[in-house]
């Protein structure tokens, strides 16, 4: 509900009130319905993309992460065009990218990441073609789409471990 609210966009009402079954049918078909809940207001109920294959990219939060990462890192990397294809430049690249991804990790967008730009990727053949290769590995944070709460009633005298 924190990330799906539409009140910030001045949405005041919806035309059709969807039942749980309607919302489930739409969700099964990768459509995120807009729903209204009395206490929470109007929300986008879901986070699926239209991608059919099951992968991390079939969720909106991961697609937005990738769009953001590509945009910000590409914007930073453009300052390395025409620079020497050397270990010093590789280090400059990782020094620019790591803080960007550290911020995303701190904001819980990714679990882990690794930035690689080195002579293993940039072999003499690659350097001779005037290319510089870097790889950015991202492990996106998964979101909780369902919360399964289990209530257990116990008999008197049961000890709870802390």
Considering the domain architecture, whether residues 33 and 96 belong to the same structural domain is answered as: no
Instruction: Name the β-bridge partners of 148.
Output: none
Confidence at 151, pLDDT banded by 50, 70, 90:
very high
- Note whether residue 27 is domain-resident: yes
Considering the domain architecture, whether residues 18 and 84 belong to the same structural domain is answered as: no
- Note whether residue 51 is domain-resident: no
Considering the domain architecture, whether residues 68 and 104 belong to the same structural domain is answered as: yes
Distance CA 151, CA 162 (A): 17
The most confident of 24-33, 39-48, 59-68, 116-125, by mean pLDDT: 116-125
Considering the domain architecture, whether residues 40 and 60 belong to the same structural domain is answered as: no
Considering the domain architecture, whether residues 14 and 87 belong to the same structural domain is answered as: no
- Note whether residue 161 is domain-resident: no
Total count of domains within the chain: 2
- Note whether residue 98 is domain-resident: yes
Which position has the token pair 């699926």?
Answer: 48
Q: What is the pTM of this model?
A: 0.77
pLDDT digits (tens, 9 = 90+) for 70-113: 999 999 999 999 999 999 999 999 999 999 999 999 999 999 99
Phi, psi for 37 (deg, rounded to 5):
-125, 135
Which contacts qualify for 87-96: CB closer than 8 Å, 24 or more apart?
A: 87/118, 87/119, 89/132, 90/117, 90/118, 90/119, 90/122, 90/132, 90/134, 93/117, 93/132, 93/134
For residue 122, what are the domain limits?
A: 56-140
Considering the domain architecture, whether residues 72 and 95 belong to the same structural domain is answered as: yes
Could you give the count of Cα atoms lying within 13 Å of 61 in the half-sphere of its Cβ? 17
- Note whether residue 78 is domain-resident: yes
Q: 135-140 and 110-116: which strand pairing?
A: antiparallel
Considering the domain architecture, whether residues 63 and 130 belong to the same structural domain is answered as: yes
């Amino acid at each position: 509900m924190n990330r799906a609210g539409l009140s910030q966009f001045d949405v005041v009402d919806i035309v059709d009130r969807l039942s749980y079954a309607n919302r489930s049918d739409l969700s099964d078909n990768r459509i995120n319905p807009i729903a209204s809940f009395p206490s929470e207001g109007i929300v986008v109920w879901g986070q699926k993309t239209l991608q059919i294959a099951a992968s991390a990219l079939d969720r909106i939060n991961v697609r937005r992460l990738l769009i953001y990462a590509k945009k910000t890192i590409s914007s930073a990397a453009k300052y390395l065009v025409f620079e020497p294809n050397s270990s010093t430049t590789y280090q400059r690249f990782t020094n620019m990218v790591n803080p960007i991804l550290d911020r995303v990790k701190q904001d819980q967008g990714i679990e882990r990441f690794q930035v690689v730009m080195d002579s293993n990727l940039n072999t003499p053949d690659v350097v001779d073609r005037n290319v510089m290769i870097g790889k950015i590995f991202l492990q996106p944070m998964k979101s909780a789409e369902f919360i399964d709460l289990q209530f257990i009633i116990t008999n008197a005298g049961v000890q709870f471990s802390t």
